[in-house]
Amino acid sequence: MSSTVVNNSKHKALMYVGLWIVLALAIGSLLGSQNLHRYYALDSQGIKTSGTVIALEPEDHQGVRYSYQVAGNTYKGVGTVGSGNPKFGSLEVGTSVLVYYVGSDPGISELGEPGPRLQNEIESVLMAALTAPIFLLGIFAQGGRSKS
């Protein structure tokens, strides 16, 4: 094998590694900006309180609308049943549910314990950030081969 072919192969491999790193960081940043900060704030600064189911939306991903009070103010949220609450099928309007909210911004809340949601979000973002670039680079590489 000539040194030109080896150098081209090394250059191409480095290019793909560099593109993978850039894509992984971009995808991780984009996906992480969706819920990661919120779940982290709820897990690290969250205050546990009791809320009340105000509506059930079985056709909308089993959504649960809830309300809770902080310092005499009523806040509302919508989410899915989380750890520490009964299953969706056991809920009725008026059922008491576990809610966590951020002390510095009580409007940010979540049903159930935030720790498992944070863990799930971290795993999902990492999985997407590490694997999606491989598929994108595979498509890119296939496109380059068909032109040659």
Classify burial at 70, counting beta carbons within 10 Å of its beta carbon; exposed 0-12, middle 13-18, buried 19 or more. middle
Classify burial at 59, counting beta carbons within 10 Å of its beta carbon; exposed 0-12, middle 13-18, buried 19 or more. exposed
* Nearby residues of 19 by Cβ (< 8 Å), 6 or more positions away: 133, 137, 140
DSSP 88: G
Domains of the chain, residue spans: 3-147
Write phi, then psi, for 87 (nearest 5 degrees): -65, 160
Determine if the pTM surpasses 0.95: no
Residues in the chain: 148
pLDDT (tens place) for every residue of the chain, 148 residues total: 566 766 788 888 888 888 888 988 888 888 878 789 999 999 999 999 999 999 999 999 999 999 999 999 999 999 999 889 999 999 999 999 999 999 999 999 999 999 999 999 999 999 999 999 888 888 887 876 655 4
